[in-house]
Amino acid sequence: MVAKEKVYKRILLKLSGEALTGQEAFGIDPRVLDHLALEIGQLVGIGVQIGLVVGGGNLFRGAALQTAGLDRVTGDHMGMLATVMNALALRDALERSNIATQVMSSIPMSGVVDHYDRRKAIRALSNGDVVIFSAGTGNPFFTTDSSACLRGIEVDADVVLKATKVDGVYDTDPMKNPEAIKFDQLTYDEVLDKKLEVMDLTAICLCRDHDMPVRVFDMAERGALLSIVRGGTEGTLIQ
């Protein structure tokens, strides 16, 4: 039974960078951005406060660049800059849908976006603006899963919602094993013990230590986001 009213007042929504590619060969598919603007607009419409983190996997990942011969820290810097590009594209799509949006970056980028400031972010969220936290944590060797959980905890979100390319957490990677079995619910320790790779384990530890629930769900499933903020059980809940 799904409530008509929202059960979450403030959320941290982590969007898959990789899923932004959509049907394009590389980069960002504008149709994915438009779909996201529609879904996010529905939440804004019922008064949900939304912090966003978008990944960079559609453009660059430090680990992949290292495999190709680049220095790892340089690769991670490139990955973090990729998340800023995605954040700018997302802001553009949201603003075209008349959704007030601010982008903050963990890496100072004067003249392009504001530097991350927790108090300003909380004020903006309280005013109903969508706030996109870009450039990850600002540090190499992390991922945007960790930055999403970190920012979610900092701004006192009710939940971290990881919107990704699969519809939940499975016992093995469902992209590689069609027989994989899906979980409806898991504890943080079960994710850690089983080394389930849907989310990086640093992020899970952080959420466990700060009692931040995480729901993993399919970014492409229409209406899933709205349903979840009203108490729907799409995907897998980790708590």
Ligand X SMILES: Nc1ncnc2c1ncn2[C@@H]1O[C@H](COP(=O)(O)OP(=O)(O)OP(=O)(O)O)[C@@H](O)[C@H]1O
Question: Interface residues for ligand X in 75-134 (CB under 6 A)?
Answer: none
- Per-residue binding letters, 64-103, with ligand LLZGTKA7 (x by CB under 6 A): -----------xx--xx-xx--------------------
| 64 sits near ligand X (criterion: CB under 6 A) | no
**Beta carbons of 169 and 186 less than 8 angstroms apart:** yes
Residue number, 48 or 199, with CB nearest to ligand LLZGTKA7: 199
Beta bridge partners of 101: 130
| Helix segments in the chain, DSSP class H | 30-45, 62-67, 72-96, 118-126, 144-154, 188-193, 201-209, 224-229
Which residues lie across from 217 on neighbouring strands? Answer: 163
Q: Is 144 annotated as a binding residue?
A: yes
Considering CB distances under 5 to 8 angstroms, the limit depending on partner class, which of ligand X, ligand LLZGTKA7, none binds residue 165? ligand X
Q: Is there a contact between 114 and 104 (Cβ–Cβ < 8 Å)?
A: yes
> 105 or 164, CB closer to ligand X?
164
Closer residue to ligand LLZGTKA7 in complex, CB, 48/59: 59
Residue with tokens 């108490």: 231
Q: Does 52 bind ligand LLZGTKA7 (CB under 6 A)?
A: no
Dihedral of the CA atoms 217, 97, 103, 61 (nearest 10)? 50
Is 152 near ligand LLZGTKA7 (CB under 6 A)?
Answer: no
Helix (H, G, I), strand (E, B) or coil at 172: coil
Of 27-35, 57-65, 186-194, 221-229, the segment contacting ligand LLZGTKA7 by CB under 6 A is: 57-65
Q: Which amino acid is at 13?
A: L
Amino acid at 27: G
Could you tell me what percentage of the chain is helix, strand and coil, using 3-state DSSP and rounding each to the nearest 5?
40, 20, 45
Please, which residue, 140 or 231, has the CB nearer to ligand LLZGTKA7? 140
Annotation-wise, does 16 bind a ligand?
A: yes
H-helix or E-strand spanning residue 22: none
14 assigned to a ligand binding site:
yes
Instruction: Report the binding-site residues for ATP.
Output: 14-17, 57, 61, 164, 170, 173
Contact set with ligand LLZGTKA7 (CB under 6 A):
17, 55-57, 61-63, 75-76, 79-80, 82-83, 136-137, 139-140, 142-147
